[in-house]
Chain A
Amino acid sequence: MPFWIEVIVSLFLLLGAFFALVGSIGLAKLPDFFRRLHGPTKATTLGVGGMILGSMLYFTFLNNELQFQELLITLFLFITAPASAHIVAKAALHLKIQHKAKHTETQDDANAGKKKAKAKAIEKPESNAESAE
């Protein structure tokens, strides 16, 4: 395999690993749920996309035939990542609103509030289902 292919593949892999790491750092570091949502949906998805592009290029030159299969994973991730982010955000909003409706006092600490809402959601799944309709 020529050297310059190795360089390009390495660049793709390093870029992908960097973005995947940045997404995870965002998940661990940022202060509240909706800010954490941004890291994984954008950075991690592109990170994996970059790695798969690198892998595709590598196998194309290793076997001397075109390898497009792995593009399917990237395509699938790019379609599903926004969908899963949307539904997780919707669930989080739902829990928050439910909590606000039950406790009318103002909440300045969103995290403490969400913890209570979580306990409620586990205790009363039936009331959860009713209010969703």
Chain B
Amino acid sequence: MLSNVIVICIAALSLALFLNLYRLIKGPTLPDRILALDTMYINTIALIVLLGILQQSLIFFEAAMLIAMMGFVGTVALSKYLLRGDIIE
């Protein structure tokens, strides 16, 4: 039963990622694209957690943690660039 549920969840998340991709390509503004990238990394964390349950392995936890940290830094850096025209002041 659990494996079926996981397959359904993976399908839902893939659909979510496609919707994010649509927003990433369509834009229309730069903040929209940053927001799409931000949502994409959060959805990817969920996908990796699901993969961890499917494989019954705790190793994927570290990957999810790293993506959470790097994704946040990336979002802040991109927004900072829009705000100041520079990342490091």
Using a CB–CB cutoff of 8 Å, the interface residues on chain A facing chain B are 6-7, 9-10, 13-14, 16-18, 20-21, 23-25, 27-28, 33, 36-37, 39-40, 44-45, 47-48, 51-52, 54-55, 58-59, 62, 67, 69-70, 72-73, 76-77, 80-81, 83-84, 87-92, 94-95, 111, 114-115, 117-118, 121, 125-126, 128-129, 132
B88 at the interface (CB under 8 A from A): no
Cα A120 to Cα B64 in complex, Å, equals 36
A90 with B68: in contact, given A20-B43, A36-B35 (CB under 8 Å)?
Answer: no
The answer to whether A51 and B42 touch across the interface, beta carbons within 8 angstroms, is no
The answer to whether B86 and A129 touch across the interface, beta carbons within 8 angstroms, is yes
**Choice from B17, B35, B64, B85 contacting A121 with Cβ under 8 Å:** B85
A91 with B46: in contact, given A17-B13, A23-B39 (CB under 8 Å)?
Answer: no
Residues on B with beta carbons closer than 8 Å to the beta carbon of A48: 42-43, 45-46, 49
A85 to chain B, nearest CB (A): 8
The answer to whether B1 and A84 touch across the interface, beta carbons within 8 angstroms, is no
Cα A13 to Cα B13 in complex, Å, equals 11
B33 to chain A, nearest CB (A): 10
Residues on A with beta carbons closer than 8 Å to the beta carbon of B19: 24-25, 27-28
B23 to chain A, nearest CB (A): 5
